[in-house]
Structure 1
Amino acid sequence: MLSLLLGFTLAQSTPATPPPEEVVQTQQVRPLPGQLDTVPVFNSNSPELVLKEGILLSTFPADGKKVPEAHLNYPFRGRFDVFAHHVARAEPPEDLRSLHIGIMLHNPGSEAVTVDILQGASYLSQPDAPFIQLPAQSRNILGNIFAGPGDRAVSDVLRGRRQASFPAQIVIPPGESQMLLNLPIPVRELTPPLNGRSTLMRLRSSGTVYAASMALFARQNADGSERAPTLEEWQNLLQTGELSTPRDRVPTPLDSNQPRIYGRVAGVAQGSQWRSFVVDGPQARYLTIPQAGQAFSYPLSSLHGGTLGTNQIQSANMLVRYPDTAYRAHGNYGIQYSIKLPLHNTTQNAQKVSVSVQTPIKEDNLTKQGLRFFTTTAPQVFFRGSVRVRYRDDQGRPQTQLTHLVQRRGQPGEPLVLLNMKPGDRRLVEVDFIYPPDATPPQVLTVSTQ
């Protein structure tokens, strides 16, 4: 997490504070209906901190490569996503060259392949999207509120945007390669000389392609200025290079009882979107609202060791991965949740109903009869991202709200929408968001009746 790297030196000089007191909110936690789709995601997040040139993630075949173990041999065709998040730091501090992140696509076939860039965004931490302090909730219709490059990138894609620097499509001749991305992470004039880049793209290919993300330092022109590496330089790295270093911490096997290290993701994950139709049961058409004074919740991005009593692990499976990287795409960075709540007031009285996102204290099995929260604000930010809510208001008018949330560990959150539901009233609430990088799971989606 870039935010953690930037905050490390500050944390060392801050005196320890006692943990805040806890409160238990009595509410049922139910598994979230639905499942991830089967769209493959090229997920390049390890090593997060890149200090040396090398291959970050290659799905090319190993044939003819100098370092065969750096290539995972996974072809893409049709819909697939690209997610990449990496950090550069001057090492040693006087080496202020920009690190370039390159993502290459290769057409192994005998006919040209067209790759449509449906949506896409790539941002730097500095200056594009610094980690700034923001309120717990902000209206974000224009998409101009964000903290961190991952937050900004997924906000753009949620809105269906394609950054102006990306073409609508690229055509790759047979047997050739093209750069999908070739962008720098500059560190010069930054204090400390540390920066990061987050990228999320939704693609559709007319034929088979292989993909690779790589890291090369900027080349120097005769006048001392920097230039981006050429396609030939990237191709040479792919053929002869090894995996970039330093490597991240090796993850704990999923069935181990040792202290859990999730690790960072480098591979192809299965699933780009989780669609959910939340109703009372398999044959039901509506979701009965909670009784007055009660609530129920559904996990968002639940993972091993953090299912909140549901035993539901939403982390995407890895189709291919490097042995020293995460066993699953813990955190589901870049994955869209699309949740429909067809609420129904079955009582004889008007009810005030709210829908909210919350960040409870992480647990696997609930130790109390509900979710645990802190009574005061904890220091760690666990979620920065925009949530879109669509519904009909109390006058029957369609509404679309985009709200930017900043939630800290153990924060109960505020309502995204408040509905005054008459007896027998039925109201569809649709919640969409893309799980942002630099967030820490799990969260919950909570429906409560006051």
Structure 2
Amino acid sequence: MKIYGSSFMKVTIAILLSFILTLPAQASSKTSISNQITDINKQKKNTEANINDAKNKVNNLESAKNKLETYLSELNAKLMELSEQLEDLGNQITTKEEEITTTQQELDDAKAKEEKQYIDMKTRIKFMYENGDTTYLQLFLEAESISEALNRAEYIMQIYDYDRDMLTKFKETKEEIAEKEALLVKEQEELLALQNEVEVKQQQVAEVVASTSTKISSYSSEIEATEKKAKEYEAKLAEQNDKLENLKQLQAQQKAAAEKAAKEKAAKEKAEKEATTKGQQSASTDSENNAGGASSSSAGDLAMLAAIIQCEAGGESTEGKLAVGSVVMNRVRSSSYPNTIVGVIYQSGQFSPVASGRFALVLAQGANSSCVSAAQRVLDGHSSGSWLQFRTANSMIDGTVIGNHVFF
């Protein structure tokens, strides 16, 4: 009996010590997981707030960008309108110059007629004065009657009156033509002043176009960076959700393990009571412990020249891009074309990408680096040739073939 009692006490003490030692570990594990879940939920709220902020920022930037793109389209339309105005004014000035030339010729003719009439009249008057007495005497002596003599005298007076009337008429005609010429010259000066005013306005609008394009490009870059940041936040949120799900699963497993341990404890207590009653003991211990987790970026001329190079020679070699840029600059220097880059590019009927709207789109997005580099080299003084035209290469046009274009 004594041996049996001593063995029973040892087993009972071992079971109690095993149960007591597992309690702190289980409690500590549960507390750690709960704290991690709380931390992850806080991190999630911060990440979700960052995602919302990023999306709101993108929406605001997109809205601002769309407004600028609309404004840019209006500016491009305005530039085309101004180019048409300049072309119309040029035609008016040419017509006015032709009218002035014609009027000057008319004035010269009127002066010549006045001079001739004056000389003829002066000659007749001089003749009458120098031979006056003889002439008048002859008129009367040769006349067959007094009536005929009076008729002859009246004829002389009519000649004199005619000369005076014609001279007065020529003077009046000359004065009218002179006034007309002065009016035409004044109108020409007004047209030239208006032409200069439209050219200044065109340059101003071109500068606003370049500035707006730069802003749009800046917005595009900022939108891209913000969207990239939003994606990083979304990836971070997905990672946090995965961690949270794993922690919840681990928490559920621990809860199940605790319930199982409680049942086992009850079973052990029942077995101990039975062992005490019957003098027999059977003991078993189970424990599960698993924990884990971790917690967790002139500018206007350059932009326009680069854009037209990309539209016309975006797929060409550097030599082809430089050749297109050289044509634009040759036109700027030529008296047959507008004397500004914006004027050349927006000149009516010259560059099809301007009329189709593709130029405005490239200008808004910004040309690629190779086209910008080519444009800068041309602006810095590079010239591929003296050509003023280029077309798609074909056997019908003689010129210098570079890539898919012939320059002439």
State the TM-score bracket (shorter-chain normalisation).
under 0.3
Could you state the TM-score of these two structures normalised by the residue count of structure 2? Answer: 0.18
More helix by share: 2
Q: TM-score with structure 1 length normalisation?
A: 0.16
Higher strand share: 1
